Homo-oligomer: A and B are copies of this chain.
Amino acid sequence: MKRLSPGSKRAFEAESRRQVFGAGQSAQVLVLSCRAWARYSGRIDAELGLGDLVILVKDAASGGDGSVVVHGPLLVTPRNWMPAGTEMLEEDDHLVFEHVARGERLEIWIEELYSRSQSPSELSGSLTKLGAEREFSDRLAMHPERIEPGLDIIEREYRTPAGPIDLLCRDRRRQLVAVEVKRRLADNSALRQLRFYLHHLEQMPEWRRRRPRGILVAPHLRRPTQALLNEEPRISFVRLGFEDLRTDQPR
């Protein structure tokens, strides 16, 4: 086995390999369309039965990060993949992708190659997102009174050994309030987080006298979670969504 020149000996003849790595084509994503089957070993063992696939190789030797994704005709998520830093090797009759440091390996046997092409990958566009949790939390931090009148923020992302508390606050009675923010829906997992943080605050000598309680802030609460919340005297829910915090809509 040796470093390659992407493509199995069978699938790509020497002259086609020149095509793949032609002069001046320093940045390329290799796109293979084929009928193939595959084996992955590493974090688990997996076998992908014969089927039609589109394989994207973001080859590190030509501008990519070495990641590989193998897509079938269905699903958003790939059937197989390899992380950044993967190297493409060659065996007699199949493709081998290997990430030695991680102990991962993906082998693909191509029964029929429908097409191969290289896509330029000189330019990686920037991605900007609006409306993610960070922004929701930002707006909330500017208007903590929207959560509860008289609420003041002591610290954002207050770090405890149990994890970071989104907003550590004091209420109008100067008692301690831990606020957990969810941009979309609050479920049991959110409640577990808040309880975990609260439990820790109650253990801390500097906070336990402030009788910490918790507030879950989200636009929506899952029904079973609401039922569990009703049993929690020290945790409450405040319904607030992104659209409730538009800067041009003060109340």
In chain B, what residue has the closest Cβ to A59?
A: B73
Determine the chain B residues whose CB is within 8 A of the CB of A48 once the complex forms: 125-127
Determine the chain B residues whose CB is within 8 A of the CB of A184 once the complex forms: 43
Residue A63 lies at the interface, judged by CB distance under 8 Å to chain B: yes
Residue contact A123 to B29, C-beta cutoff 8 Å: no
Residue contact A74 to B124, C-beta cutoff 8 Å: yes
Residue A1 lies at the interface, judged by CB distance under 8 Å to chain B: no
Residue contact B120 to A49, C-beta cutoff 8 Å: no
Residue contact B46 to A123, C-beta cutoff 8 Å: no
How many A residues face the partner with a CB closer than 8 A?
70
How many Å from the CB of A132 to the closest CB on chain B? 6
Dominant secondary structure of chain A at its interface with chain B: mixed
Residue A15 lies at the interface, judged by CB distance under 8 Å to chain B: no
How many Å from the CB of A247 to the closest CB on chain B? 15
Determine the chain B residues whose CB is within 8 A of the CB of A122 once the complex forms: 52, 73
How many Å from the CB of A104 to the closest CB on chain B? 12
A45-B131, A49-B126, A161-B228 are known; give 13 further A-B pairs, CB within 8 A. Answer: A31-B31, A43-B131, A44-B130, A44-B131, A44-B132, A45-B130, A46-B130, A49-B127, A54-B119, A58-B71, A64-B74, A67-B74, A192-B193
Subset of 24 A-B contacts with CB under 8 Å: A27-B52, A29-B52, A31-B33, A31-B54, A33-B120, A43-B131, A44-B129, A45-B129, A46-B127, A46-B130, A50-B123, A52-B123, A52-B125, A53-B119, A65-B74, A72-B121, A73-B121, A76-B83, A79-B125, A79-B127, A162-B188, A162-B228, A192-B196, A203-B231
Residue ranges of A at the interface with B (Cβ–Cβ < 8 Å)? 27, 29, 31, 33, 35, 37, 43-54, 56, 58, 63-65, 67, 69, 71-76, 78-79, 81-84, 114-115, 117, 119-132, 161-163, 184, 188, 191-193, 195-196, 199, 203, 224, 227-228, 231
